[in-house]
Chains A and B, each alone.
Chain A
Amino acid sequence: MAKTIKTRVQRYNPDSDDAPYFQEFDVEYEPGMTVLDALLYIQDKFDSSLAFRWECRGGQCGSCAVKVNRTARIACRTKVNPDENLVLEPLEKMPVIKDLVTDMAQTTFRIRRIRPYVARDKQPQHPEIIRAEEIEKLREIRKCIECSACLSNCPIVHETWDYPGPMIIRQLARLELDPRDVEDRVAMAMNESVYSCTTCRMCTDICPKKIDIPALAVELLRAKAVEAGYPLAEGQQAFLDSINETGRAVPVKDEPLLKQVKDAEFFVDNPRGRVAFFTGCLIDYRMQNTGKALIDVLNRNNIDVVVPKEQWCCASPAFRTGDLNTAHAAARRVTEIFEEACKKYNCDTVVVACAGCGKTLREDHRPFIESERGEPPLYKVYDMAEYMIQVIGKENIVPPKGEIKLKITYHEPCHLGRGQHVYDEPIELLKMIPGVEYIDDPYKNRCCGAGGGVRAGLRELSQKIALTKKEYIEATGADMVTTECPFCTIQINDMMKETNMQVRYIPDLLAESYRKGEGK
C-alpha cells in the first residue's frame, strides 16, 4: 500500500487572490524522496501551475529554498519525513510573486549596496602569487550559493532590515579576508549593523554548505572592528572591563556561590564518576541556587563533584564581541585552572549548566588552546543534562519522586542546541519528573534575543526578538517555561514579568523534585 504524505502548500496569486491560502495534496511517499520530489509530484499530478523555483536539484545552485515546516531550507536536499505532515510556505520577509516564488529585489538591493566584488586599486602582475595560507580561511566562506534560506530564518532580519542578514555579512567577511580587496570592509560591516547578530547559529544549521557564519564571518568582522579601534557598546565594554579586572563579567551582588560552598569537594560514598564543575559568572554571582542544585542532583546520582574555588570567566562576551585579547587570556586562565583541578582530583570531565559557557569552552577555547600549544585542554566538557543522559545513562538516573504538577515547555538555548548539539537530553530529564506534562513548542529553538552581546549592546532590538519569542512560548499554553542557560533565563524572565508564566532553570526543577520526593 502506498503511503501518502499530507502536504499543505501556500498558494497565492496576487493578480486574482486577495490573500494567501493553503491547499492540501496527498503526495505518494517514496523512500529517500526530497521536498523537491514532493513539489514536482504535485506539479505533475495535481496542478502544473504550482509556482516554485528549482534548477540543479543537487544543492549547488540555491534556487529552491522554501519554508519546510516553518524552517527555510533548500528543497532539493531536504528529505521528506514519512511520519510527519508537510507544510510548505514561501521564504519569509520577501514579498510573494506567486505561491512559493518570492521577489528577491530587496536581497539584490542589499547585496549590491556593499559593492560585493574584490575591489582592486591597481592591475595585478600575472601570474599573481597568492599563497594557500592567505586564502585558506577565505575558501570556506566563499562557498555560499545565495539560496537566501538564512535570511528567511534569521531572527534579527525578522525584526529589522537594518541588518542585511547572514548571507550578506558573510560576503563582507569574504572580502575582508581577501588580500586583494582594498575597501574598508570593517566600516561597511559597522554600517550594516554587524553587532546585531545574536550568534544564534540558525543560519549555519540550515546552510546547504554548512558555513559557520557567526564564527567565521560575524565574530571575525567584530574582531577586526575592535582591532581597528571601534568602541564597543557601553554595556558590552562593562562586561569586558569587569572580566579583565576581576575574572567575572558582572559585579558581586549577593554572596557568590564559590564563597558559600565550604569545600571544593562534594564527594559521595560509592561514586560512579567524578566531574569538575565550571560555574560561569552568572551561576556564581546571580543564580547560586542553581549551582547548588546541580551539585545536589549530581551527588544524588553518585557523581563526585569538584568545585574549584578560584574560577574565571569563560569570556564568552569577549569572543562574541571581538575582544580577542581578553578572550584568549581568559581561555588560557580557565584551561590552567581546570587542568590543575582535574589533575589534583584525578578526573577528566568538566560539567557546566550554562549553555553559553559550555559552547565557549568547547567551540572557542578548545581550538584556540590547541592551535597555541599543539594540544587541546586535557578535559572533556559536558552540559549537565547531556552528562546525565549520555554518561550516567538514562536507565541509571535515580528517578526523582517529588510531584511537580505543571504544564511545562522548554526553550532550547541556541548555544546548547545548535551550539553543542544537545537537543533532547534536557527534555528527557524534564519528562522524568512526576506530574510534569511536557508541551512541545514548535519554535523552541528560536533565539530569545539575548546572545552575541545584543542584550547588552542593542537592548531595543533584543527586546523585539524577545517579544516575538514570547508569543511562541505563550502559544504553547504551558504554565512554565524551562531552559538551561542563565542569559536565556534572565531574558525570558524579563519578557514574562507581567504574566503568570513561570520561568525555571532545569537543574533547579530537578533538585526540587528530588527534595520533595524524600519528604524533606
Chain B
Amino acid sequence: MDYKTIMCDVLVVGAGGAGCRAAIAASKHNLDVIMLSKELLGKAHTAMAEGGYNVSLGNVDPDDNPETHFKDTIVGGNYLNNQKLAEILVRDAPQRIFDLEDMGAVFDRTPEGKIAQRVFGKQSWRRTAYASDRTGSEIMVTLTEGIRKSSVRVFDEVFATKLLVTDGKIAGVCAVDLKYGDYLVFRAKAVVMATGGAGRIFSVTSNAQLDVGDGYGMAYEAGCEMIDMEMVQFHPTGMVKPESAKGRLVTEAVRGEGGILLNNEGERFMNRYYPEVMELAGRDQVARSIMTEVLEGRGSPDGGVYLSIAHLPRTIIEFRLESMIEQFEDAGVDIRDEPMLVSPTAHHFMGGIKIDEDSATNISGLYAAGECTGGVHGGNRLGGNALADTQVFGALSGENAAKYAKKNTHLGVDRDAIMSEFVNLEEMLKRKEGVSPADARDELTELMWNKVQIFRKEDEMQYAVKELRRIEKEVVPKIKVDVPVKRFNPGWHQAIEFAHMVTTARMVAEAAVMRKGSRGAHYRVDADPNEKGHYNIIIRKGKNGEMELRKEDLVITKITLP
C-alpha cells in the first residue's frame, strides 16, 4: 500500500464557510496552510444558505446590541447553549462581517449605505444581514475570492478519513484523493476541523451530497468529546419530488407570503394545532404538525402534505416567489395553480465536536469550527446564526491553530495505524462478497428517518440503537464496492463514508435515548414531565472502545435558567 506524505504547518479539513475563513486566518501568520476540500473549491454546502447573517450592528434597529443578540440566541437554544461560546458569537459577528466586506462581499444596503438588516425567525430586532436570497452563496463566493488571494494551498476533492493523534496531540490526517484514488497522509502541526453537518444520515434532508458526518466520525474515533448530538433541526418544508430534489428547502417566505398547508382531505390542518398563528408557528411546531398529519395517514401518497399558494394573485407569486416558481418547474408543478408537495427535512446539526473559547477540542493542536462543532446553538439554532458561526469560529480556530503551530513542531505519526487505515479502505474494493454501500446507506437512512426523527419514543429509539450497533458490527466490516476501481469511483466514496455515517447515527440515537425530557429540537412523545433537562450530553470513546455518554452541567455566564 503506497501513500504520499505531504507536509504543512496548519491543515484545515473542510472548505465551507468555516474552513475557508480558518484557512485565510491561519495564512496571515507566515505559515504554510493547506485546506482539504471534499468537493471542488467554492461548492461547499454553505453556498445553499439563503436566510442571512445575524449581527447586532443596529443599522436598522439602533436599539439592537450584542446583549440582545446573546439573549435571543440563548432563548432560541432553549438554554442549552455554552454561554461562553454564544458570547463570542455575538461579540465577534460584527468584525467578521466587516472582514467579508474587506474581501469584497456585496451585501444589500440601507438607504444610508450601511449593511441592510431584516427580520428573521424569533429575533427581537432586525439584525439579519443579507444579499437578496443568496446570502450563503455571496459569502462562499467572497471566501473563494479571498482564498485565491491568499497563499493557502487548496487540495480539491481530497477526502480526509482519519485523524492521526500521537500521545494525545494532533499529528495529521489520512486522506484519499477522490480523483485518482491515491492515498495521502498530511502531516501538520495544527489541524482545524470544519467538516460541516450530517443531514445525509436521514433519508430526507436539505443537505448536499457531501454532508455525511465524516468529521463527527473522525473526531469521535480520535478521542474528541462530542456534545449535544441528539439536537437535529428539522426544517418543516422540503421538497418531495423529483427524487434528486427530495428534501431541498422550500423557503419559509412561501408561508410568509400567505401559503397554506393542506392534508389529503383538503383540510387546513394548522387550525387544529396552532389556530392563533397557523402556518406561521415556529419551525419545529410546524414540522411536528406536518409530521403528525403524515403519521396519522392524512398525508399525500408520497409522504408529505400540500403547501398551496394558488389562492394568491399571480402577480404577487411572480414578483416575490420567482425562485420558487423555478424550483418547482423542475418538479413539473406550476405553483401558481397547483399545490407543492412538502415534507419536513433534516436540516442542521446543533451538536458536534465540543470546543472551548479558543475553538479548541480536547486534543492538543486540534481545533474545530462551524456546523461540525457543538455548543454554540444549544438545543435549537436561530436562522441566520449559522453563517455568523462559520465566520466567527472559523477565524478564531484559524488564528489559534496558527499560534499553536508557531509554538510546536511536527509530531511523528503511527505508521502502523496509517497502514491499517489504508488497508481497510482497500479492502472495500477487494472483498469477494458483502453489502453494497447503496443498500447499506438506504437501510441506515430509513432507520434514522423512521425511528430517530421529529417525534421520539423510547422503544423506537432503543430499537434504532440496537440496530445501529448491529450495523456497526456486522455491516460496516462487510461493505463491498461493486466495481473495484479507484479512479473517481462514487461507489467507493460512499463506502468510505458509511462507517462515519454509522458512528454519527449512533451518537444521535444514543444521546436521544439518554435525554428523557423534551428540550430544544429534541421532542419526545413520552417525555418525562419531571425532567428539567438542564444539562448537555457529552459523548466520548471509552478506553475499551465503547461509546460512553454522560451528562454535564451547562456552561452559564450571564443568563440563569428560568
Please list the residues of chain A having a beta carbon within 8 angstroms of any beta carbon in chain B.
13-16, 30-34, 36-37, 40, 43-44, 47-58, 60-63, 76-77, 79, 97-99, 101, 103-104, 108, 111-112, 115-118, 120, 123-124, 126-132, 135, 138-139, 142-146, 178, 180-181
Contacts and interface: CB of A to CB of B under 8 A. Distances in A.
A158 to B, nearest CB: 23
A103 B157 CA distance: 11
A37 B210 contact: no
Contacts of A111: 148
Interface string B36-78: 0001111111011000000001010000000000000000000
Contacts of A55: 39, 43, 45, 208-210
B104 A118 contact: yes
B330 A132 contact: no
Given A55-B45, A97-B487, A115-B149, A142 B106 contact: yes
Interface in B95-144: 98, 101-104, 106, 108-109, 111-115, 131-132, 134, 137-138, 141
Nearest to A175: B104
Counting chain B residues whose Cβ lies within 8 A of the other chain, the interface size class is 35 or more
Given A14-B487, A50-B490, A56-B43, 6 more contacts: A40-B244, A43-B491, A48-B438, A79-B332, A129-B113, A135-B109
B40 A54 contact: no
Contacts of B43: 55-56, 61-63, 145-146
Contact of A76 (B48, B244, B494): B244
B243 A116 contact: no
Contacts of A56: 43, 45, 47-48, 208-209
B374 interface: no
B248 A57 contact: yes
Interface of chain A, helix or strand or loop or mixed?
Answer: loop
A490 to B, nearest CB: 39
Nearest to A13: B487
B483 interface: yes
Contacts of B40: 53, 63, 104
Interface in B426-464: 436-438
Contacts of A131: 109, 113
Contacts of A44: 438
Considering the complex of A and B, which 10 residue pairs feature the smallest CB-CB distances, nearest first?
A118-B104, A48-B491, A32-B332, A49-B483, A117-B145, A129-B113, A98-B488, A51-B488, A61-B43, A55-B208
Contacts of B175: none
Contact of B242 (A34, A63, A112, A178): A34
Contacts of A146: 42-43
B330 A34 contact: yes
Contacts of B39: 53, 55, 61, 63
Contacts of B245: 34, 57-58, 76
Contacts of A53: 39-40
Contacts of A63: 39-40, 43
A44 B491 CA distance: 9
A49 B484 CA distance: 8
B327 A135 contact: no
20 contacts: A32-B242, A44-B438, A48-B494, A49-B485, A55-B45, A55-B208, A57-B248, A60-B47, A60-B134, A61-B45, A61-B48, A63-B43, A98-B179, A104-B156, A124-B102, A128-B98, A132-B111, A142-B141, A144-B141, A178-B106
B146 interface: yes
A104 B98 CA distance: 32
Interface of B: 39-45, 47-48, 57, 59, 98, 101-104, 106, 108-109, 111-115, 131-132, 134, 137-138, 141, 145-146, 148-149, 156, 179-180, 208-210, 241-245, 248-249, 327, 330-333, 436-438, 481-483, 485, 487-492, 494
A98 B492 CA distance: 14
Given A97-B487, A129-B112, A143-B134, A77 B330 contact: yes
Given A13-B487, A44-B438, A142-B106, A127 B332 contact: no
A135 B209 contact: no
A77 B330 CA distance: 7
Contacts of B42: 61-62, 145-146
A168 to B, nearest CB: 12
Contacts of A49: 481-483, 485, 489-492
B482 A48 contact: yes
- Chain B CB within 10 A, most for which of A43, A126, A135: A126
B243 A33 contact: yes
Contact of A36 (B131, B241, B244, B491): B244
B137 A143 contact: yes
Given A32-B330, A117-B148, A127 B115 contact: yes
A124 B104 CA distance: 11
Contacts of B108: 132
A124 B48 CA distance: 29
Contacts of A117: 103-104, 145-146, 148-149
B101 to A, nearest CB: 6
B199 to A, nearest CB: 12
B429 to A, nearest CB: 10
Contacts of B491: 43, 48-49
B241 A54 contact: no
Nearest to B491: A48
B118 to A, nearest CB: 14
B98 A98 contact: no
A51 B208 contact: no
Nearest to B108: A132
B342 to A, nearest CB: 15
A127 B39 CA distance: 34
A126 B98 contact: yes
A13 B485 contact: yes
Given A32-B241, A58-B248, A143-B134, A101 B209 contact: no
A459 B41 CA distance: 37
A118 B145 contact: yes
A31 B332 CA distance: 7
B53 to A, nearest CB: 14
Contacts of A40: 243-244
